[in-house]
A = this chain, B = another copy of it.
Amino acid sequence: MSIGKSVKRVDAFEKVTGRAQYTDDIPLNDVLVAKVLHSTIANGLVKGIDIKEASKLSGVVKIVTCFDVPDITFPTSGHPLSLDIHHADIADRKLLNRRVRYYGDDIAAVIAKDDVTASRALKLIKVEYEEYEPLMSIEASLEEGSRPIHDNFPDNILTHSNYQIGDYEEAIKEEGLITFEGEYITPMVKHCHMEAPISYAYAESGRMVVVTSTQIPHIIRRIVGQALGIGWGKVRIVKPYIGGGFGDKQDALYEPLNAYLSKSVGGRCVKLDITREESFVNTRVRHAMKIRIKSHVRPNGRFVAREIEVYSNKGAYASHGHSITSKAGNACKQIYNDEKAIKGDMYSVFTNMPVAGAMRAYGIPQITFALESHIDEIARGLNLDHIDIRKLNMMKPDFEDNGIKCHSYGLLKCIEEGKKYIDWDKKIEEYKNQTGLVRKGVGMAIFSYATGVYPILLETASCRIVLNQDGTVQLQMGATEIGQGADTIFSQMVAEVLDIPTRNVHIISNQDTDITPYDSGAYASRQSYVSGMAAKKAALVLKEKIIKHANFMLKLPVGNIDLKDNMVVNKENGDILASLEEVATHAFYNTEKSVHITADITNQCRSNTFSFGVCFADVEVDMAVGKIKVNRVINVHDCGKVLNPDLAAAQVHGGMSMSLGYGLSEQLLFNEKTGKPLNNNLLDYKLPTVMDTPHLEAQFVDTYDVSGPFGNKALGEPPAIPVAPAVRNAVYHATGVNFNTLPLTPQRLVERFIKENLI
């Protein structure tokens, strides 16, 4: 039995010894280097580009500009293609763009023999612009008369989606309701994966190959095809090991441009490796959001009706914008339920800022910050217990919303475990009536998170397993290992079904769209659930075929055989009939009925389920300097069956760290007048280091989700959700000050404490 054990990562040895090949490790012959010329204005039009001087530079092979590229607009977001044209992703950019929409927009590219030459050539290109006023905030973009960033979106609103459940106007008429209003603001932050997006592109047999650090090789294939206007079968994407993605690489980044660049030099191999500085602004960021909540509550804390407004800062291009904003808005009615009514309006607004796209937890960290801050304010306003008010309003078992069903429910248990670890009741008592400049507080936050994208979008995954002569198997997943441990989990799943050691499952980590079964890729915490089911089903098919062959080989009646501990056994009495190796070898080489036993299947997933979790934090606020010290912090998760405790804990640690940075220090900053990014580097952008990080406690409650392949549900993204609001609430508890804008930087704290006459 493999599931539930802390099996060592299957890629541990390769990665620890440095043998694992990431894109930049792959040796190449005769490779050219490309560099992109970015606009130095945030809003405007390229009137002309003079490449004369640059072209003369020795070693420059080719320069292409926004005047050269095909007149094709394409979408970049990593969604499976929607056959329903109304759900199609927005095709709003070309490979290079004359219409400049953010500071750093791609307007030209140089292909040269080496890096230095390419960089020098960039500096020799002269650009003439027609410049417009940059729209550097949601408010600026929405202002009457603001210039449209995209012609076909005259009011700069990419999408406005909304919902209404119950009769809101009627509901709020109830007598005795208390109304709470709040506005919550979250920052634009960056994924900061270790490996910057990098790709090679070259032609092969009249087709285009792109080797790239992506979470979604099969989707990139389609988008490269769309962007170049060629058949998608003429594109081959190869994904080696990748150094993290966190959603940034759930978008087509520079793959389409690189394919075009290679094509423009006759299919020679072109490498496009962007810098950390480019990665900050030229890939994707997390949507900054402004969220307004108005709640109508009975004195006991029960939500009767709520009204939500979500404004998200889309940046310059659509990417995932519509879906993330919508997902955030919809989450309001999931984690908490109103007795009578709820309505939501979600706006995705273009600005002249970097493009917001997918980032771990896809809109839910933002909305959870708002909801969990808001409910604490209500609790304090009504003098209620912060946990009781949540229990009163939160999702109950068997809840269902829009096809997402609560098939398993560990939320209450999560809260109990978290309380215990943080010693909640004692601390609440202990931290009463503090004075002085250093005060302590506890806070908590809860959340729910769906697993995958059904029923909004297609959920499909494929898997192929091949039996080797020695009874080991090769496993090919379309799903991608992006550092999270997917390969290990899938190997465990197949080992579990076949009852063989996990080390006997040899997973092919790299995806190659020419031969790798189709899968949408790594996002939406879908892989262990959707792709895992494909792995399970393929293993079951393989098992059936093995047993069928064993029956043939052993001349036994059908139905009498099972696989156990690497052996073929009598199902009734457990007697060993043959080793799996003997049956496998026989299948390959017997002359009566030779067969290469494989399974190659698709799993279309038509279910979804909620994961849950809480964070509890115990903090100390040094008000004089605005410094928050996190003394204790715990995430407790209900992710269904924990497939691999060590890997699950590692996921949680990473997510907690990300959410701590989100809460305390991270924010991309811009010159408001020019739109120029101010801190797009790892020195000035305050990503927490290991020195900033307290002990991160990860715990799990034991549930089993019937809709998951092995009782499991989402865990990849959820850990990144609750820490920021829990810390914010702990600060609120410590100081009585409700910080509703993230991150809780010293400057922000000190200014507010002064304003509140606390220091």
Using a CB–CB cutoff of 8 Å, the interface residues on chain A facing chain B are 10-11, 13-14, 19, 25, 27-29, 80-83, 203-207, 222, 225, 231-234, 455, 457-458, 460, 462, 464, 466, 468-474, 476, 478, 503-504, 506, 508, 514-515, 517-518, 581, 585-586, 588-591, 593-596, 598, 600, 602, 604
Contact = CB atoms under 8 A, between A and B. Distances in A.
A602 B591 contact: no
A537 B558 CA distance: 27
A232 B469 contact: yes
B470 A232 contact: yes
A5 to B, nearest CB: 19
A559 B473 CA distance: 37
Given A232-B468, A515-B474, A596 B204 contact: no
Contacts of A508: 514-515
A511 to B, nearest CB: 11
A458 B205 CA distance: 34
A594 B589 contact: no
Nearest to A606: B591
B25 A27 contact: no
A470 B233 contact: yes
A506 B233 contact: yes
Contact of A600 (B233, B464, B471, B514): B464
Contacts of A474: 233, 514-515
A515 B458 contact: no
A28 B27 contact: yes
A515 B476 contact: yes
Closest 6 CB pairs of A and B: A233-B468, A233-B472, A231-B470, A27-B27, A518-B596, A460-B594
17 contacts: A14-B204, A14-B205, A81-B585, A81-B588, A83-B586, A83-B590, A222-B469, A225-B469, A233-B469, A233-B471, A233-B473, A233-B474, A233-B504, A234-B470, A462-B596, A462-B598, A474-B515
A19 B590 CA distance: 40
B518 A588 contact: yes
B460 A207 contact: no
A81 B470 CA distance: 13
Number of copies: 2
A598 B518 CA distance: 10
A267 to B, nearest CB: 8
Contact of A591 (B14, B458, B468, B591): B458
Given A457-B591, A462-B596, A478-B596, 5 more contacts: A83-B589, A207-B506, A225-B470, A464-B598, A506-B514
Nearest to A597: B602
B81 A589 contact: yes
Contacts of A204: 14, 19
Contact of A517 (B28, B29, B472, B596): B596
Contacts of A205: 10-11, 13-14, 506
Query: Which residue of A225, A466, A514, A591 has the most chain B CB atoms within 10 A of its CB atom?
Result: A591
B589 A82 contact: yes
Query: Which residue of A225, A232, A586 has the most chain B CB atoms within 10 A of its CB atom?
Result: A232
Contacts of A472: 231, 233-234
Query: Which residue of A206, A207, A517, A589 has the most chain B CB atoms within 10 A of its CB atom?
Result: A589
A595 B588 contact: no
Contact of A29 (B25, B469, B473, B515): B25
Contacts of A590: 83, 458
A530 to B, nearest CB: 11
A138 B667 CA distance: 84
Contacts of A586: 83
A81 B462 CA distance: 32
A704 to B, nearest CB: 27
A458 B604 contact: no
Contacts of A222: 469
A596 B28 contact: no
Contact of A602 (B225, B514, B594): B594
A126 to B, nearest CB: 36
A506 B515 CA distance: 11
Query: Which residue of A203, A205, A207, A460 has the most chain B CB atoms within 10 A of its CB atom?
Result: A205
A474 B466 CA distance: 18
A225 B471 CA distance: 13
A19 B209 CA distance: 13
A455 B593 CA distance: 13
Nearest to A12: B205
